[in-house]
Amino acid sequence: PTVILGSSYVYCYACINEYVKRYHRCPTSNRPITNEHLIKVY
């Protein structure tokens, strides 16, 4: 599981990583982000 820095939503790492690479934004808030904003939660 992965969260976006400053967000409480949890995503699949592979899914959110690919999404951010493609769209450069959060799918929930629509704010601009990079892969550096992704935090893996174990």
Model pTM above 0.75? yes
pLDDT tens-place string over residues 14-30: 999 999 999 999 999 99
CA distance 2 to 38: 6
Distance, CA of 33 to CA of 22 (rounded, Å): 11
Number of Cβ within a 10 Å radius of residue 16: 22
Distance CA 42, CA 34 (A): 20
Which pLDDT band holds residue 8 (cuts at 50, 70, 90)? confident
What is the spatial distance between Cα 23 and Cα 11, in angstroms, rounded to a whole number?
15
Domain boundaries, the chain: 2-40
Side-chain half-sphere CA neighbours of 15 within 13 A = 8
